[in-house]
Amino acid sequence: MITVVQRVGWARVTVAGETVGEIGRGLVLLVGVERGDTAADADATARKVAALRLFPDAKPMDRSVAEIGGSCLVVSQFTLAAELRHGNRPDFTAAAEPALAAPLYDRVAGQLAAAGLPVATGRFGAAMQVELGNDGPVTIVLTVRDGKVVPRPDTPTA
């Protein structure tokens, strides 16, 4: 599961001109579900996002979204599973089929809500327009496999 996390001052998602989800200060999550992802991946993603300290206090990144009274806007983003190694047209075969992806996407949103966070969502499978005011800007890519956060590729070791 790949999730792009953006710290925002505000965000909203619309479908055919209708606002379907909107938040003030908080986090936008673009969630890409891949083949082989499981409920454990969705749960680990939600736990990590809820605990991330991305908001300023004594330090630039010191407080979680809950600690600042923020919200989460969770948007399905299958294009995060794009493969770009061959040619110039993205290949999306790594993206999970909707029958698997929709429940896992919903599970991420549900687990965040269960953690006490206000959660708004986009509409799974719809053509959406996402507007946001990225705060910072702060944008982080979170990858979870087998229920664990995956380190970034080529991360130096100490």
Question: Which residues have a catalytic role annotated?
Answer: 77-79
**CB-based contact 141:4 (threshold 8 Å):** yes
Alpha-carbon span 7 to 56, nearest angstrom: 11
Tokens 């004594």 sit at which residue? 58
Could you tell me if 143 and 150 are in contact, meaning their C-beta atoms sit under 8 angstroms apart?
yes
Pairing of strands 26-32, 2-15: antiparallel
CA of residue 29 relative to chain centroid, distance: 3
Distances, alpha carbon 95 to alpha carbons 73, 86, 121, in Å: 21, 16, 20
